[in-house]
Structure 1
Amino acid sequence: MSFRNTAEAVGAWVEGWAVSRGAAEPAPCAWGFTIDVGLPRHVMRHVLTTVDEATVRKITEDATAPGVWLKAFVPPETLTPWLASGWSVSGGPSFLMSAPLGASHAEVPDGYRLRTWSRAGVTRALVRTADGAFAARGQIAVTGSTAVVDQVETDPAHRRRGLGRLVMAALAGAAAGQGAVDGVLGSTLEGRALYERVGWRVLAPLTSVVRAPDPAG
């Protein structure tokens, strides 16, 4: 299959992200989804499948506790004017991306070791140096025919050595082996270049905003 529209891809991303992070089951609502995450700085998140000024204003005015996040698939300049006081954009430009999944292979560079393992619906890939130091990682959550790539990271000292490509190949192959045919992920601007090199394409811009603590108390 392939995603028929952005809303379908968003739904797959929300479901897989919740599995990947061990969050609560996403609760659907008229404008998208709400997910209880349960972390001190990320208590919950709202993911909007449709975005308009009235909806954004209501959500951000009603949510006054710190650690509430909102994700919307529009550029920051569209979302920012609609935010209530206390909310701000977090991070730089981001993107929702997708790709077909299939058997994939990448050579492990000399001096590195790759290990993968699966637990509770999530497959993790870890790359370490020969002496055991961390070099790169990533994980993928399979939910039926779709899978969500998450938390891909390469240590700065080990970049430009093909480790990101290696991790992506390991994750894609593992997910395809479990029956997933389409992948989706949320990418930073820096990560986008890697993902595009291995066949992923941008579906929509992605903006993250967060409710900060009240400076008055």
Structure 2
Amino acid sequence: MTETRALVDRWAEGWSDSRRMLARRDGDSWFVQVAAETRSREYISASPSLPELRRLVNATTAPDVWLTLVGDLDEPSRAAVAGLDPITSDERMMTSSIRPSPAPANVRIDIDEDGQVAHARVEMDGELAARGQAAVRAGDVVFDRIETTPEFRRRGLGRLVMTGLMAWAADNDATTGLLMASVSGRKLYDSLGWSEVAPIVTFRGRGA
């Protein structure tokens, strides 16, 4: 549990760097000012104690306030979040050693650097086919927004984006990769040799 919490701390810092968000410790958890269309703010916690979880649930007051929990939920924890609406389930926190490999020569991966954040793009026929970004902090690299445009899926472009970003991360002295994987994304990361750390579930408030 202690190791998972440490990984979540490192991920939260890198994720906030990646998206240029304000993040701070809040008790044993994290508070992030997301300011996105989907939510205004988000609480993130790894296996919180029951009193801490109840405090977070009470703070998740509206549909634009989210609560992400990393780790298995026992019966008392499930009861504590019963008043919230689930958004995602069956997602996973994952980690990997950074092992760069050369990208295929026939596909170009464009990488733009913005300080310690890199944005990768793959274009096909003049259109954006796949993208992703990553942020390096103190030996860690957090991968974020790895996406393939629907009409270009099943061509291995997500793997290309990850390959390009991992090579960039290695060049910037990153040794450990961290990410939060969706259900569909897990297949890609499994194929790249990533390991699961813990399950993730996200809720939002119901409001009045």
TM-score if structure 1 supplies the norm length?
Answer: 0.86
The sequence identity of aligned pairs, in percent, is: 30
Distance 1:151 1:134 in 2: 14
| Structure 2 residue runs without a partner (length 5+) | none
Q: Deviations over 1:17-55 (max 9, x none)?
A: 00111101x212332211122235321111113323332
Check if 1:97 corresponds to 2:91: no
Q: Please, which of 170, 194, 203 is the counterpart of residue 209 of structure 1?
A: 203
CA distance 1:89–1:80, shift in 2 (3 Å) = farther
CA shift for structure 1 position 75: 4.4
* Counterpart in the other structure of 2:4: 6
CA distance in 2, matches of 1:76, 1:107: 42
User: Does structure 1 retain, via aligned residues, the 8 Å contact 2:60–2:66?
Assistant: no
Q: Deviations over 1:48-84 (max 9, x none)?
A: 1332333222221233233111111134786542126
- 1:48-63, aligned counterparts within 5 Å? 48-63=45-60
Q: Once the 2 structures are TM-superposed, how far is the Cα of residue 113 of structure 1 from its aligned partner? A: 3.6
Where does residue 143 of structure 2 map in the other structure? 149
Is residue 158 from structure 1 mapped to residue 155 from structure 2 by the alignment? no
Instruction: Tell me if structure 2 keeps the 8 A contact 1:61–1:84.
Output: no
| Superposition map of 1:7-26 within 5 A | 7-24=5-22, 26=23
The SS at the match of 1:106 is coil
| Residue type of the alignment partner of 2:123 | R
Report the residue type matching 1:12 in the other structure: R
Distance 2:10 2:72 in 1: 21
After superposition, where does 1:105-124 map in structure 2 within 5 Å? 105-107=102-104, 113-124=108-119
The separation in 2 between residues aligned to 1:53 and 1:203, in whole angstroms, is 21
TM-superposition CA deviations, 1:170-206 (whole Å, max 9, x none): 0111011011110100001111110011111101001
What amino acid sits opposite 2:120 in the alignment? Answer: A
User: Secondary structure in 1 aligned to 2:58?
Assistant: helix
Instruction: Report if the CA contact (8 A) 2:47-2:72 is conserved.
Output: no
Distance 1:173 1:76 in 2: 36
CA distance in 2, matches of 1:75, 1:189: 16
CA-based RMSD of the aligned residues comes to: 2.0
